[in-house]
Amino acid sequence: MVFQLFRTYLNLFRTGVLMHLFDRDILLAQQSAGIFSGKIAGNWSINGTPNGGYLAAVATAGLLKSSPKQHTPVLTANFISRCGAGSADLSTWEIAHSRQFCRMEARLIQKGREKMRMLATFADEPEACLVKRYEATPPDMPPPEKCVQFPKLSKYTLYDNADVRLDPSCAGWMENRLSPVSEIKGWFSFRDAREFDICAVALAADAFPPAVLASQGMVAWVPTLELSINIRNIPRTRWLKCRFRTRFINCGLLEEDGDLWDENGELVAISRQIAQLRQAVS
């Protein structure tokens, strides 16, 4: 497997396709039709655990190799058990195919155990947009240079490679100044200026601290159970404007709704995740 990955990487490097860390870390070697092998990297982790958006990006990379349709995907990942850095296998297959849509499934396996399952719906590139109506607008916030850069922390390697900057109005929780609203908004980009594509948007949709921290402060863990990402457009700008909001917390469960925009005010993606709220035990 290592030789196959190296050969794939070498071919891409020679053609100038592969230039960035994120591309190396979602690279998959195809073993047969719909069967891939790769390595879950430790470069996109939260407290030592690979980030859910990164894992979704790895699965999406395999699905894009398998799906005959490639556009406006709806991605839904169910996280079955915690992943770790190291070797992994991904299997993909088509569930249904119609003139408009191709529906796919992927399973991520580590050490013989299924860690994540993803359902994805892909469409053809639209010829025209007959109706375009947004009943919401991008978040209003200061430019990136006036926002709070999320600090680099030990075992939080995601922020070594992703540049996440929070609107000062929702960054008070880092100094124990809590907000009455569970909302976090800010800017996202890659530190190495990698451009955005479907896999990168999947990462961005789960790259921010949980919105619940704004009102509840630091908690032990907010593990994601399910993450859905509906990608509408691929951004061509340097930064994404992102907003995430939690409205309902009860019995240890919460939802988080997100909307991602480019710098031109174009909607990039909407997301929803269901997560647990695990309080620290004193």
- CATH architecture entry for 144-276: Beta Barrel (2.40)
Residue 9 scores a pLDDT above 80: no
Q: Is the pLDDT of residue 186 over 60?
A: yes
Length in residues, the chain: 282
4 has a pLDDT exceeding 70:
no
Domain ranges of the chain: 2-123, 144-276
* Alpha carbon distance 44, 85 (integer Å): 10
* Domain spanning 2-123: CATH 1.20.1250.20: no
pLDDT in tens, 140-151: 999 999 999 988
Residues 153-158, mean pLDDT to the nearest whole number: 92
Contact 83, 116 (CB under 8 A): yes
Q: Give pTM, 2 decimals.
A: 0.92
List pLDDT tens digits, range 97-117: 999 999 999 999 999 999 999
Residues of the chain with pLDDT > 90, as a percent, come to 85
Q: Is the pLDDT of residue 2 over 90?
A: no
Domains 2-123 and 144-276 share a fold: yes
For residue 83, pLDDT beyond 60: yes
Going by C-alpha positions, the residue among 182, 204, 177 that lies closest to residue 254 is 182
pLDDT score of 223 more than 90: yes
> Which pLDDT does position 220 carry in this prediction?
64
**Can you tell me the mean pLDDT for 159-176?**
95
Residue 270: count other Cβ atoms within 10 Å of its Cβ. Answer: 17
| Mean pLDDT value across the chain | 92
